[in-house]
Chains A and B, each alone.
Chain A
Amino acid sequence: MDIFLQQIINGLVQGSIYALVALGYTMVYGIMGLINFAHGEVVMIGALISITVTSTLAAAGMPLGLAGLFGLVAAMLTCMALGWSLERIAYRPLRGSPRLTPLITAIGMSIVLQNLAMIFWGRNYMTFPPLLPKVNFEFAGTHFTLVQVVIVLLSAALMAGLVFLVYRTKLGMAMRATAQNPAVASLMGVNINRVIASAFVIGSALAAVAGVMVGSYYEIAHYQMGFMLGLKAFTAAVLGGIGNLAGAMAGGILLGIIEALGAGYIGDFTGGFLGSHYQDIFAFVVLIVVLMFKPSGLFGEKTGDRA
């Protein structure tokens, strides 16, 4: 039983990170029907920027906590600028072209960003500075750390903030209207370009935070870290129903838990043949199963219903 509860907790932590990244996929898809495959790379850039800024400031004598805060803010600002530029440079010129064109461009951008990161930061794994004191908690036979608690709480706060933005503000209403009928939204005075750009910018800010979270959780970062994370977050978005905010959140957390439980029990299931390092297969089994049996996802509308 302990391992069950423990894995639920671990899954919740990992799932919160997936959810933050999945929101970026789903917002852009919801508004313009584009799967921004470069989104995982935005997470990676966020993590690497935050390492560089944090360690530079810490080396200059700033207390680590404060340096980490600056690192986080720098990562968010950089990623917001990056998300904005991606839309402006890579996707906007292709608006109105067949769907495959921006999709291939997105894959291209993802490769470009990985290579740029490799040039700037090198091929080696980088150690992520410990931003938070190592505090351990014990509860009902399970163990967890301060980092894990902060990840879950911060993700929850950001998601609540996003829900507020989308459902309670004028910008959010304009985003929903644009997703449903861009031509009519612009008749109402909505500047469609600005709404699309803000979806990229907001999604990228969340991605930056997710990058810092993964970095502090696993204490390493690497120019290829965005690839697998991006695929899994995309899976989470599809699981929840891509284009749907609640779906991305639920899909992220669910995927995290499925993975953690899978990793926890895979040894038992296979008589020790497969170890927990095979946990990555679960995400893709989930993706395949969803695509086969409920391609619109758990919360999604029927496919093609996007106005």
Chain B
Amino acid sequence: MLEVTGLHVAYGGIQAVRSITFHVNEGETVALIGANGAGKTTTLKAISRMVGATGDVHFCGEKILGISPHEIIRKGIALVPEGRGVFPRLSVLENLRMGAFVRDDKAAIADDIERMYAYFPRLKERADQLAGTLSGGEQQMLAIGRALMSRPKMLLLDEPSMGLAPIMVQKIFEVVRNVAAAGMTILLIEQNAKLALESSQRAYVLESGEITLNGDSAELLHDPKVKAAYLGE
């Protein structure tokens, strides 16, 4: 579904992502793991056109590396950005509505808002509260809900566990797995390698902008190199 070929991103002189190639099949959850500064966020930004890149990115057979950033979501790709990126002075409900910005089907949008409230009952209680006043975990729920509101074909998640208490991480990942089980294609970025590998079918390991390992998540969980470098075992 998503095919990334020879993707290369440089910030000035810094080569953040060096000609990486990977793909995500329809219905799959694929994890991209790596240490701080490995280039994970940069990869997602390149796919969602927030930074310029060279190489090739095809989504559903269509080349998307040349289109405008605001067209990406119309192709069916929704990003949950690093650090959540909720609109702090919009209400929770308005943030969800922003997720459906590209849609016009009012009735279906209303249904989907209820669906998000069912996933995250906490959001329903806070519907009229400004998003900036939510806790980190609640903001992460909102960012995921907002992304789902566009009814995407594929979800890109950038470190949903970042800065959250273990119990909140559990909750968020439960929803991610449910969404995946319902057929969503997901590219999951995580530093928490164990969690990422347990929640995905396949995974790629990114080191200093290059993919050094890839394979089935279950196998990578037992790979000695992965264990040593990312699982702290």
Contact = CB atoms under 8 A, between A and B. Distances in A.
Contact of B74 (A170, A173, A184, A189): A189
B87 interface: yes
A189 B112 CA distance: 18
A170 B170 CA distance: 34
Contacts of B94: 173, 176
Interface in A27-61: none
B188 to A, nearest CB: 17
B87 A177 contact: yes
B81 A180 contact: no
Contact of B72 (A176, A187, A192): A187
Interface string A166-205: 0000100110110011011111111110000000000000
B88 A173 contact: no
A189 B87 contact: no
B102 A187 contact: no
Contact of A176 (B69, B74, B89, B150): B89
Contacts of A192: 70
B131 to A, nearest CB: 9
A190 B87 contact: no
Interface residues of B, number: 25
A307 interface: yes
B203 interface: no
Contacts of B1: none
B73 A188 contact: yes
A250 B102 CA distance: 34
Given A181-B85, A181-B87, A173 B98 contact: yes
Q: Find the residue from A170, A184, A190, A307 having the highest chain B CB count within 10 A.
A: A184
A39 to B, nearest CB: 24
A192 B101 CA distance: 13
A66 B70 CA distance: 44
Contacts of A186: 50, 68-70
Nearest to A179: B89
A170 B101 contact: yes
Contact of B50 (A170, A187, A188, A191): A187
A296 to B, nearest CB: 15
B101 A190 contact: yes
A177 B98 contact: yes
A188 B69 contact: no
Given A189-B102, A190-B101, A307 B88 contact: yes
Interface in B67-97: 68-74, 78-79, 81, 85, 87-90, 94, 97
A192 B48 CA distance: 15
Contact of A184 (B68, B85, B89, B102): B85
B99 A188 contact: yes
A189 B73 contact: yes
Contacts of A177: 87, 90, 98
Nearest to A174: B101
A196 to B, nearest CB: 13
Interface string B134-158: 0000000000001000100000000
Q: Find the residue from B48, B69, B146 having the highest chain A CB count within 10 A.
A: B69
Nearest to B94: A173
Nearest to A194: B70
Nearest to B100: A188
A96 to B, nearest CB: 13
A180 B102 contact: no
Contact of A190 (B70, B85, B88): B70
B90 A185 contact: no
Nearest to A187: B79
Contact of B48 (A170, A187, A190): A187
B73 A187 contact: yes
A176 B89 CA distance: 8
Given A173-B90, A184-B87, A189 B101 contact: yes
Given A176-B90, A186-B70, A187-B50, 14 more contacts: A173-B90, A174-B101, A177-B90, A180-B90, A183-B50, A185-B98, A186-B68, A186-B69, A187-B69, A187-B79, A189-B74, A189-B101, A190-B98, A307-B88
